[in-house]
Amino acid sequence: MNDERSTTNAPLPFPSGWFRIAYSDELLPGQVRALHYFDRDFVLFRTATSKLHLFDAHCPHLGAHLGYGGKVNDETIQCPFHGWRFNGEGQCVEIPYACKVLPKVQIQSWQVREVNGTILMYYHPDRKPPDWEIPLLPEYTCKDWIPFKRRRWQVRTNPQEIAENGVDTAHSPFLHRQTFVSLKSQSIEIDGAILVHQLLPIYNLSFAAGLLGKENLGSLEISYYGLGCQVSRACIETVIELDFLAIFMLTPIEEKLLEIDLIFSMRKIFSKTLTKLFAPKILMQKIGRDLEQDISIWENKIYCDRPTLCESEGAIMKYRRWSQQFY
Task: Dump pLDDT digits (tens) for 223-253.
Answer: 999 999 999 999 988 777 889 999 999 999 9
Spatial separation of the C-alpha atoms in residues 218 and 199, rounded to whole Å = 9
The strand order across the sheet containing 85-86 reads: 71-73, 76-78, 85-86, 92-94
Element (H, E) at 230: strand 229-237
The strand order across the sheet containing 229-237 reads: 149-155, 257-266, 241-254, 229-237, 215-225, 194-204, 180-191
List alpha helices for the chain, DSSP H: 138-141, 159-164, 171-175, 209-212, 272-277, 280-300, 314-323
Q: Residue 2, exposed/middle/buried by CB under 10 A (0-12, 13-18, 19+)?
A: exposed
Fold for 138-326, please state it.
Naphthalene 1,2-dioxygenase Alpha Subunit; Chain A, domain 1 (3.90.380)
Per-residue pLDDT reduced to its tens digit, 87-101: 999 999 999 999 888
Total length of the chain? 327
> Looking at the predicted structure, is the pLDDT value of residue 279 above 90?
no
Domain with CATH 3.90.380.10 in the chain: 138-326
The strand order across the sheet containing 109-110 reads: 32-37, 40-46, 52-56, 109-110
pLDDT band, residue 215 (cuts 50/70/90): low
N-to-C CA span, the chain: 8
Average pLDDT rounded to a whole number, residues 51-76: 97
Domain with CATH 2.102.10.10 in the chain: 13-123
Question: Which residue type sits at 271?
Answer: S
The pLDDT of residue 204: 86
Average pLDDT rounded to a whole number, residues 178-196: 95
Instruction: Say if residues 197 and 185 touch (Cβ distance below 8 Å).
Output: yes
> Looking at the predicted structure, is the pLDDT value of residue 4 above 70?
no
The pLDDT of residue 5: 40
User: What is the residue-averaged pLDDT of the chain?
Assistant: 91
Domain 13-123 matching CATH 2.102.10.10: the answer reads yes
> Looking at the predicted structure, is the pLDDT value of residue 276 above 90?
no
The pLDDT of residue 11: 74
More confident position, 13 or 3: 13
The pTM is what? 0.92
